[in-house]
């Protein structure tokens, strides 16, 4: 493992996820601290989460605009105002060349120093943590980081037709794992993380015990990292992309 970049070296961060609300469960507390520090954070959401939720009376066609609006409101809670929705169908994402090109395009547009995306690996300890869409998005995002976005000969049309120059993302953060090596103390931003999650009203508006669930999760992470009692934390596997 290389040396982790200090936040003072980071100007822009791109967060890629499969569904609206993914980022708020895994990383919103950390993102609030980044935007507090003046770092520009952008979100790229691959699907509109149109297979999510439990309300069968809600016409499915109404779900995408609703979930985009909820994610936009959630982002605002943690200081994020640049959101890019790719509109892939929920539940059917594959790590195709088309998705790699779409993600390489966003990377070249945003030019992030650090990128956050889901792990492409299956988590046998907690199966629902790695939905197939998450794994596909993680795999395509890592391929877009290396080699696609930095290689001028990958998807040459991005440069020829859209004027998008190659870009090297220096560091990738995978929320959770599979082998977490860094922990962020989010005790101070936990309230904003909770507010961001509550903005996803169609998904978790009725969820009983959301705060207790989150506190339990984030305090276990903090305890494992040896933080003082009462601390809350989010864990990541930080990868040097060089
Ligand atoms: Zn998800």
**Ligand 1 centroid to residue 171 C-alpha, Å:** 22
CA–CA separation, 8 vs 240, rounded Å? 16
Report residue 141's pLDDT band, with 50, 70 and 90 as the boundaries. Answer: very high
Distance 49 CA to ligand 1 centre (A): 8
User: What is the predicted pLDDT for the residue at 2?
Assistant: 53
Burial, 83: exposed, middle or buried (Cβ in 10 Å; 0-12, 13-18, 19+)?
A: middle
CA of 64 to the centre of ligand 1 (A): 14
* Ligand 1 center–CA 79 separation, angstroms: 21
Per DSSP, 19 falls in state S
Distance 156 CA to ligand 1 centre (A): 31
How far does residue 157's CA lie from ligand 1's centre (Å)?
30
Q: Which residues contact 228 (CB under 8 A, 6 or more apart)?
A: none
**Residue with the larger pLDDT of the pair 28 and 123:** 28
Residue 163 Cα to ligand 1 midpoint, Å, equals 32
pLDDT tens column, 68-106? 999 999 999 999 999 999 999 999 999 999 999 999 999
Q: Is the pLDDT of residue 29 over 60?
A: yes
Compute the distance from residue 165 Cα to the ligand 1 centre, in Å.
Answer: 31
Q: What is the pTM of this model?
A: 0.96
pLDDT band at 50 (very low <50, low <70, confident <90, very high): confident
Sign for the pseudo-dihedral over CA of 75, 78, 80, 84: negative
Cβ burial of 129 (10 Å; 0-12, 13-18, 19+) is middle
> What rounded mean pLDDT belongs to the chain?
94
pLDDT at 177 over 80: no
Report residue 175's pLDDT band, with 50, 70 and 90 as the boundaries.
very high
In this predicted structure, the answer to whether residue 208 has a pLDDT above a threshold of 90 is no
User: Which span out of 41-55, 99-113, 118-132, 206-220 was modeled with the highest average pLDDT?
Assistant: 99-113
The whole-number pLDDT of residue 56 equals 79
Ligand 1 centroid distance, CA of 152 (Å): 32
Q: What pLDDT is recorded for position 1? A: 45
Distance 120 CA to ligand 1 centre (A): 13
* pLDDT above 70: percentage of residues in the chain: 99
Which ranges in the chain belong to alpha helices (H)?
A: 22-26, 28-36, 63-77, 97-110, 132-143, 156-160, 190-198, 201-204, 210-224
Q: For residues 18 and 176, which has the higher predicted lDDT (pLDDT)? A: 18
- The whole-number pLDDT of residue 113 equals 98
Q: What are the structure tokens assigned to 218, written together? A: 């984030």
161 vs 60, higher pLDDT: 161
Residues 6+ apart with CB under 8 A from 168: 149, 150, 241
Look-up of token digits 């015990």? 209
How many angstroms does the Cα of residue 187 sit away from the middle of ligand 1?
24
């Amino acid at each position: 493992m290389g040396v982790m970049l200090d936040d003072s070296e980071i100007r822009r961060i791109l967060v890629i996820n499969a569904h609206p609300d993914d980022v708020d469960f895994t990383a919103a507390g950390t993102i609030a601290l980044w935007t507090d520090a003046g770092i520009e954070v952008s979100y790229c959401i691959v699907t509109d989460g149109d297979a999510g939720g439990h309300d069968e009376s809600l016409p499915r066609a109404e779900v995408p605009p609703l979930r985009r609006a909820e994610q936009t409101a959630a982002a605002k809670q943690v200081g994020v105002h640049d959101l890019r929705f790719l509109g892939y169908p929920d539940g059917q994402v594959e790590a195709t060349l088309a998705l790699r090109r779409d993600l390489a395009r966003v990377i070249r547009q945003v030019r992030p120093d650090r990128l956050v995306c889901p792990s492409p690996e299956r988590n046998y300890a907690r199966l629902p943590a790695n939905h197939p869409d998450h794994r596909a998005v993680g795999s395509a995002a890592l391929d877009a980081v290396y080699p696609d976005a930095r290689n001028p000969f990958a998807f040459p049309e991005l440069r020829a037709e859209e004027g998008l120059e190659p870009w090297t993302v220096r560091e990738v953060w995978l929320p959770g794992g599979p082998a977490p090596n860094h922990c962020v103390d989010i005790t101070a931003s936990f309230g904003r993380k909770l507010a961001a999650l509550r903005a996803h009203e169609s998904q978790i508006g009725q969820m009983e015990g959301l705060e207790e669930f989150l506190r339990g999760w984030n305090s276990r992470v903090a305890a494992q990292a040896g933080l003082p009692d009462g601390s809350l934390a989010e864990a990541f596997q930080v990868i040097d992309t060089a």
